[in-house]
Amino acid sequence: VSAAIAIIKEEGLGGLTTRRLGQRLGVQQMAFYTYFRDKNEILRAVGLELLGRFEIPQAAPSDIELLRAVMWEYFRLLIDNPELLELDPYIDELAPERLRVLEAIHGCLHRLGIDKHAAVGTASNLRRLVFGTASVYPARRAWDDEADHWAKIGRELTALPPDVYPHMHELGRDFPAFTQHQVFEFGLETLLAGIISGSTEHPL
Amino acid sequence: VSAAIAIIKEEGLGGLTTRRLGQRLGVQQMAFYTYFRDKNEILRAVGLELLGRFEIPQAAPSDIELLRAVMWEYFRLLIDNPELLELDPYIDELAPERLRVLEAIHGCLHRLGIDKHAAVGTASNLRRLVFGTASVYPARRAWDDEADHWAKIGRELTALPPDVYPHMHELGRDFPAFTQHQVFEFGLETLLAGIISGSTEHPL
DNA sequence: ACCTGAACACCGTTCAAGT
DNA sequence: ACCTGAACACCGTTCAAGT
């Protein structure tokens, strides 16, 4: 599994093949079929290992700050291990590696006085926001690295025909810069604020 | 492209191969290389076609309801065409098929009096929530279909050892049922409520 | 049990050859 | 230009054979 992870880190998930893995371990590709039924089982084992590395924050000044810290760690885990996005479906819903995280999240929500209905809804959407953010992150990585990327996007938007895209054209002027962390912070804080304000079914 | 989509609908994205596509069109696989540089260009064309099918709602009683309708349509598009999740990265950031959607969203936000900074943050996170929800949806599909699925999950949670997972164990009793649409509604409304309440940087 | 070697049915892509 | 056929370098997996 650690050899598989090493390959994934070097060449991505697509670079992980049984032949490549055997080559790394000085063995023929067929040797793995003694330990894993098929390649999917290898992928599941890798997914479990990566999710198991989630270091759940144990203490914080308040439950809302603890919940915030947990979600930031989840975000970081998926950014650092983007393969986990694709491997997550292989992981059982009740696997300990997953339950640990859910236990921490629902612990915070319970102590915050959130009822079960709102807790399930909130936990589900916090996860979806993290997954959605992580899934678009690879394409946005450059936005953080290149200092003038946002200015460039702004110029491209301003260059759009104002009669077809009036709002996108206008948006390009003084296009507000965001790091990907700031975007996530914006969404996370909005969802967390929804908890506190006591929204359940229809916040509006 | 329509033949490619037909194959994807029948057998998923993995079933789309140049040989399979050629077979369907009565032609050899190499024929495509006259029109597309490689398979990625076929995938991009498919992605553009699917995103282009986004029927953007044009009218609603209010701008917030129009925005809500647009996001629901986006959600539906991704649920009905889960391939789009994987194809989206192939689509250019400034492709007309994408700009149409952004123009509609930012139009609503502008008319709602949201400043540019909050508008970009909100639009980004609405998209991330839709993508995150759609990406976990395939694994959750059964939850909507099987009437007793939530009860079963509840029983499995209650069966967990209370000393290890106290909150998950407790959560299993009277486990609140959600359809996937209700989960999305919960998250969408929380983000929309964040707009109205005027949260920008730190809603908390 | 653990590992190998050959083979099979697939891929995307290159290349030379046709019309 | 448009399309073909053969070939290449890859896949995951099966199967029979070894220790």
Interface of A with B in 127-186 (CB under 8 A): 127-133, 135-136, 138-139, 153, 156, 160, 164-168, 170-171, 174-176, 178, 182-183, 185-186
User: Taking each helix axis from N to C terminus, what angle separates B96-111 and B63-80, rounded to the nearest 10 degrees?
Assistant: 150
Is residue A201 scored above 80 in pLDDT? Answer: no
Please give the span between the terminal C-alpha atoms of chain B, in angstroms, as a whole number.
Answer: 48
A34 touches strand C (CB under 7 A): yes
Is residue B79 scored above 80 in pLDDT? Answer: yes
B8 touches strand C (CB under 7 A): no
| Per-residue pLDDT reduced to its tens digit, B129-141 | 999 999 999 888 8
Is residue B92 scored above 60 in pLDDT? Answer: yes
DSSP A47: H
| Per-residue pLDDT reduced to its tens digit, B15-47 | 999 999 999 999 999 999 999 999 999 999 999
DSSP A175: P
Q: Which of A136, A156, A204 sits opposite B189 (nearest CB)?
A: A204
User: Taking each helix axis from N to C terminus, what angle separates B63-80 and B180-196, rounded to the nearest 10 degrees?
Assistant: 150
User: b/e map of B8-18 (b: 16 or more CB within 10 Å)?
Assistant: beeeebeebeb
Q: What's the per-residue H, E or C state across chain B? A: CHHHHHHHHHHCHHHCCHHHHHHHHCCCHHHHHHCCCCHHHHHHHHHHHHHHCCCCCCCCCCHHHHHHHHHHHHHHHHHHCCHHHHHHHHCCCCCHHHHHHHHHHHHHHHHCCCCHHHHHHHHHHHHHHHHHHHHHHHHHHHHHHCCCHHHHHHHHHHCCCCCCCHHHHHHHCCCCCCCHHHHHHHHHHHHHHHHHCCCCCCCC
Q: What is the pTM of this model?
A: 0.94
| % of chain B with per-residue pLDDT over 70 | 97
Is residue B59 scored above 80 in pLDDT? Answer: yes
Is residue A196 scored above 90 in pLDDT? Answer: no
pLDDT bin (cut points 50, 70, 90) of residue B204 is very low
pLDDT bin (cut points 50, 70, 90) of residue B201 is very low
Copy the structure tokens of residue B91.
């689509």
Which bases of strand C have any atom within 7 Å of the beta carbon of a protein residue? 1-6, 10-16
pLDDT bin (cut points 50, 70, 90) of residue A198 is low
DSSP A112: T
| Per-residue pLDDT reduced to its tens digit, B140-198 | 888 888 888 899 999 999 999 999 999 999 999 999 999 999 999 999 999 999 887 76
Contacts of B131 in chain A (CB under 8 A): 131-132, 135-136
Copy the structure tokens of residue B145.
């279909």
pLDDT bin (cut points 50, 70, 90) of residue A195 is confident
User: What's the pLDDT at A200?
Assistant: 47
Helix or strand (DSSP H, E) at A59: none
Is residue A2 scored above 90 in pLDDT? Answer: yes
Long-range contacts: B121-124, Cβ < 8 Å, 24+? Answer: B121/A178, B121/A182, B121/A183, B121/A186, B121/A187, B121/B200, B122/A186, B122/A190, B122/B191, B122/B194, B122/B195, B124/A178, B124/A183, B124/A186, B124/A187
Q: Which of B122, B175, B193 sits opposite A199 (nearest CB)?
A: B193
Cα B97 to Cα B77: distance, rounded to the nearest angstrom? 13
| Per-residue pLDDT reduced to its tens digit, A66-102 | 999 999 999 999 999 999 999 999 999 999 999 999 9
How many Cβ atoms are within 10 Å of A115's Cβ, its own excluded?
13
User: Taking each helix axis from N to C terminus, what angle separates A18-25 and A2-11, rounded to the nearest 10 degrees?
Assistant: 120
* C-alpha distances out from residue B57 to B61, B66, B68, B100, Å: 12, 7, 10, 11
Write down the mean pLDDT value for chain B: 94
Write down the mean pLDDT value for chain A: 94
B111–A contact, CB cutoff 8 A: no
CB contact under 8 A, A190 and B191: yes
| Per-residue pLDDT reduced to its tens digit, A27-67 | 999 999 999 999 999 999 999 999 999 999 999 999 999 99
CB contact under 8 A, A199 and B183: no
User: What's the pLDDT at B86?
Assistant: 97
* Average pLDDT, integer, range A117-137: 97
| % of chain A with per-residue pLDDT over 70 | 97
